[in-house]
Chains A and B, each alone.
Chain A
């Protein structure tokens, strides 16, 4: 085969690959785009194509006291889950990835099980357990249920970071006279920071969007996804896609903000000390 025809085949392959990637992206994002479109409809019922564009449902969402309460519940649950899961996961990840101990192999395998357990079943199981213990479901029990599912994920994310840095850094600090506590605060924690940050982000977003666990365990303190579901089942209003769209926008800002922050962090590392 001539060099030219190889080049031509190469170019064709690249075009096909781009096309493929584009098709996949459209397939993945079309539902979200559909939600955005639906949220701008002027009509109460979903008819496509719609006659008139409007932002009245966004106004309705932002002024609704009812929705504010759901937002508050969701924020409360997601905030608590983020803080608790990060603290548990940092130490869990150190046990997972750094220190050799009896039973570590078992721990590493068992830790992942809750992720693979169907969430609806997990939620029901937790609800049954709560009722057996006589605990009334509320936002605190929802936090607990979310933690069961989210802590393993955050642990894994932070573990990756731990695998990525040389354990002799901790040994060196210890050898240079630092106490265990100083080693943790001066060396381990700063090096883990990027992992902790992305772990926290995951924890927040996973808890914020969770439906199957919340529906069983949040009791009276319903969250945003629960409200959306109940409105889809009965009493549809375009406030649902409007709120959904708003949530997505906030999540996008959060992710881009996080990306910008991590880039800033890398740049700061790249010239660390220079700006003192």
Chain B
């Protein structure tokens, strides 16, 4: 199937500064794709070009195979939910939702019917129709903004991290709701955020942006379990990182401590110099148990994460993170042995 949106070598310069470097991405009909990157990675520049408020310096943006680089935002069949939501403060909730329909001169009665339908779909009571925007809570505003965007009936709906200002619990609820709405409407959603957590929950695919380059594109599982490099691995969550050098026999030597590690059999990058292990892949070993890689150290800190516990273990002056379900038998100050099977680590390019 042909992609609904295609970016071909999209390049954006601001003066001499390269904001985006030859971005290639295909987005398919009905997909939920999230573009994730730290601040300054170029994600805002990218989304502005995708909605038509900016143009690439070179390269093409294709909507269903047609080049749309120069088509203005108000002529494109797509729309965006803004970071600030951009709800019109001088209009009621109903008038906000009906705005795109009013622009198309849809008669008042059918506009209203559609607005009511959308309120219902977004779990807002009908009485909200007459409410003022500033009478709505943060979560309600999110829903109104989404309703307004859905009233536009876009082919692709873009999101510029609209959830970032909300508190944690509300954000979690809305993330799931957003995903459910995307499923039920079957629309293509393209979301940008700096939060990988948000991306993991909602997305079919994630594209990771770093200083203007698309580093990796894949499903959340692919990216989590097979990151392309050390940056992506670190971006996806807390991880232990050892700098290593590879000997001719395939064993790895820690460049800081001289400790030898057994290399993972599946190696993402043959010239990798970063051996990375997620905290939950490391175990505290009881006396006598052996593993491919074992280190001895002292348990220095423990943090409760609710269902899990995270420990800091000091090994040769370095801190190694270990995460367990439940609690360990050892306490702070105890000497412990930690270990991991060779294949649960990743050897990546630094």
Q: Main SS of the interface on chain A?
A: helix
The CA-CA distance from A156 to B134 in the complex, in Å, is 27
Q: Does A232 contact B (CB under 8 A)?
A: no
Report the bound CA distance from A271 to B100 in whole Å: 23
Q: How far is the CB of A166 from chain B (nearest CB, A)?
A: 5
CA distance A272 to B129 in the complex (A): 11
A274 cross-chain contacts in B, Cβ below 8 A: 92, 130-132
Of B73-81, B226-234, B235-243, B307-315, the one contacting chain A is: B73-81
| Cβ of B191 to closest chain A Cβ, rounded Å | 16
Bound-state CA distance A86–B72 (Å) is: 31
Chain B interface size range: 20 to 34
Which chain A residues numbered 221 to 276 have a C-beta less than 8 Å away from chain B? 269-274, 276
The residues of B that contact A173 with a CB separation of less than 8 Å are 88, 99
Interface range for A: 20 to 34
Chain A minimum-CB-distance residue to B83 = A168
A177 with B104: in contact, given A171-B53, A272-B132, A273-B132 (CB under 8 Å)?
yes
Pairwise interchain contact B103-A177, C-beta atoms closer than 8 A:
yes
A62 to chain B, nearest CB (A): 42
Q: Are A169 and B103 in contact (CB under 8 A)?
A: no
- The residue of chain B having its C-beta at the shortest distance from the C-beta of A169 within the complex is B86
Q: Which residues of B contact A178 (CB under 8 A)?
A: 74, 99, 103
User: Does B169 sit within 8 A of A, measured CB to CB?
Assistant: no
B73 partner residues in chain A, CB cutoff 8 A? 171, 174-175
Distance in angstroms between the alpha carbons of A171 and B149 in the assembled complex = 13
In Å, the complex CA distance between A272 and B95 comes to 10
Q: How far, in angstroms, from A172 to B84 measured CA to CA in the complex?
A: 10
B221 to nearest A CB, angstroms?
Answer: 33
Per-residue CB proximity of B117-131 to A under 8 Å, as 1/0?
000000000000111
Chain B contacts with A in 84-120, Cβ cutoff 8 A: 84, 86, 88-95, 99-100, 103-104
Interface 0/1 of B245-286, CB less than 8 Å to A: 000000000000000000000000000000000000000000
Min CB distance, A75 to chain B, in Å?
Answer: 32
Number of A-B contacts (CB under 8 A): 81
Q: Does A22 contact B (CB under 8 A)?
A: no
Chain A residues lying within 8 Å of B79, measured Cβ to Cβ, are 175-177
A54 close to B (CB within 8 Å)? no
1/0 contact string of A164-191 vs chain B (CB within 8 Å): 0110110111111111001000110011
CB contacts (< 8 Å) of B74 on chain A: these are: 174-179
Query: Inside 8 A of A165's CB, which chain B residues have their CB?
Result: 89
Q: Give B55 Cβ to nearest chain A Cβ, in Å.
A: 15
Of A175, A182, A276, which contacts B51 at CB under 8 A?
A175
CB 8 Å contact bits of A135-173 with B (1 = contact, 0 = none): 000000000000000000000000000000110110111
Smallest beta-carbon distance A44→chain B, Å: 56
Let me know if A176 and B134 touch, CB within 8 A: no
Whose C-beta in chain B lies nearest to the C-beta of A270? B132
A residues near B131, Cβ cutoff 8 Å? 273-274
21 residue pairs of the A-B complex, CB under 8 angstroms, read A165-B89, A166-B84, A168-B82, A169-B88, A171-B82, A172-B82, A174-B73, A174-B74, A175-B51, A175-B52, A176-B99, A176-B100, A176-B149, A177-B100, A182-B103, A190-B90, A271-B135, A272-B90, A272-B133, A274-B130, A276-B92
